[in-house]
Amino acid sequence: MYMKQIDNITYYNILEIIEIFPSKGETEGSIRKHFEKGLLKGKKIKEDWYATKEDLAEFIGNKEGVNMFFTDPQEIDLNNINLKGKILDIGGGGEGIIGQLKGNSVVSIDLRKSELEEALESGDKESLKIIMDAKDLKFLDNTFDTITAFFSIMYMPKNDYQKIFKEIYRVLKEEGELVIWDLIIPQKRDAKKDLYIILMKVNFNRKKIITGYGTRWDKEQDIDYFIDIADNIGFKIIDQNLKEDYFILRLRKT
Ligand SMILES: C[S@@+](CC[C@H](N)C(=O)[O-])C[C@H]1O[C@@H](n2cnc3c(N)ncnc32)[C@H](O)[C@@H]1O
């Protein structure tokens, strides 16, 4: 990383802006021009331009016509993650990370066909992709050894969480495990911000995938919220891993 810390504020240089932030169609040259014209606020230190994530949220938000909040960019390493047997990936469209990681042991379901097609294009070539609603899984009871939800439950309405957890519990085998990666969404601090977005670099099998997962900032959630639901349904908590802006929760059907 080439970023600079000044007075506890993190500044990103042009290469990092292109790598990490969702600045579609931008090049080193175009970003430099935006700085020079003042369209992207920033700091010039010697010959290099730097911006904070707030400057970038404002710039990208103006371009997209929506007010965004970015968490600090995060890095996730999936190389040593333990996902056994036959896997069901809930909301597996988009990048299709779990499908890319575990290939043909994965059944990937998503409400939207276009998201599953995007996963295919992103490199998830081998998972079995089915259009299906997580609230109404079309599998028999006790089918899967592992169920994953990689930054997908955050996209579903909170009112549906209970139903979705019940369905997951039903189709998991006895002793099967549910692994959830999800965003910690704090109370909305700024009424003007519409979207809450986590920017991340996902590392596995020598791949580095730069992506972002965002949701409307109209709900709050943390790991305890998920633990309460899981606990009520009968899951046993196996592992809780709390990061700055997201968590990993491993549960077992007992
Ligand atoms: C952005 S993706 C999550 C990231 C994805 N797991 C990846 O690896 O990049 C969230 C997905 O959840 C899907 N989704 C939302 N509600 C759903 C539901 N009720 N059942 C199944 N999928 C749903 C969305 O269509 C979307 O594709």
Query: Using a 6 Å cutoff on CB, does residue 95 contact ligand 1?
Result: yes
> What pLDDT does residue 191 have?
86
Alpha-carbon span 196 to 21, nearest angstrom:
14
Q: Cα separation of 176 and 86, whole Å?
A: 10
Q: Is the distance from the beta carbon of residue 111 to the nearest atom of ligand 1 less than 6 Å? A: yes
93 lines ligand 1 (CB under 6 A): yes
Nearest CA to ligand 1 atom 16: 156
CB of residue 161 inside a 6 A radius of ligand 1: no
Spatial separation of the C-alpha atoms in residues 209 and 247, rounded to whole Å? 19
**CATH-assigned architecture of domain 75-253:** 3-Layer(aba) Sandwich (3.40)
Ligand 1 proximity of 182 Cβ (cutoff 6 Å): no
Residues of the chain with CATH 3.40.50.150: 75-253
Question: Of all protein residues, whose CA lies closest to atom 13 belonging to ligand 1?
Answer: 91
Task: Find out whether the beta carbon of 176 lies less than 6 Å from any atom of ligand 1.
Answer: no
Distance 94 CA to ligand 1 centre (A): 7
pLDDT digit of tens for each residue in the chain (254 aa)?
556 788 889 999 999 999 888 777 899 999 999 999 999 999 998 889 999 999 999 999 998 899 999 999 999 999 999 999 999 999 999 999 999 999 999 999 999 999 999 999 999 999 999 999 999 999 999 999 999 999 999 999 999 999 999 999 999 999 999 999 999 999 998 888 899 999 999 999 999 999 999 999 999 999 999 999 999 999 999 999 999 999 999 999 99
What is residue 99's three-state secondary structure? helix
Nearest to 180 by CA among 117, 46, 88, 244: 88
Helix (H, G, I), strand (E, B) or coil at 68: strand
Distance CA 121, CA 157 (A): 27
Whole-angstrom distance, CA of residue 254 vs CA of residue 251:
9
The verdict on the CB of residue 92 being under 6 Å from ligand 1 is yes
Q: Rounded to whole angstroms, how far apart are CA atoms 140 and 171?
A: 6
Start-end of H helices in 47-133: 53-64, 97-102, 113-122
**Token output for 130:** 């089915």
Give yes or no for residue 213 CB within 6 A of ligand 1. Answer: yes
pLDDT score recorded for residue 2: 54
Dihedrals phi, psi of 145, to nearest 5 degrees: -80, -35
Q: How far is the CA of 206 from the centre of ligand 1 (A)?
A: 25
Look at residue 203 in the predicted model and tell me its pLDDT: 95
Residue of 250, 253, 232 whose CA lies nearest to 242: 250
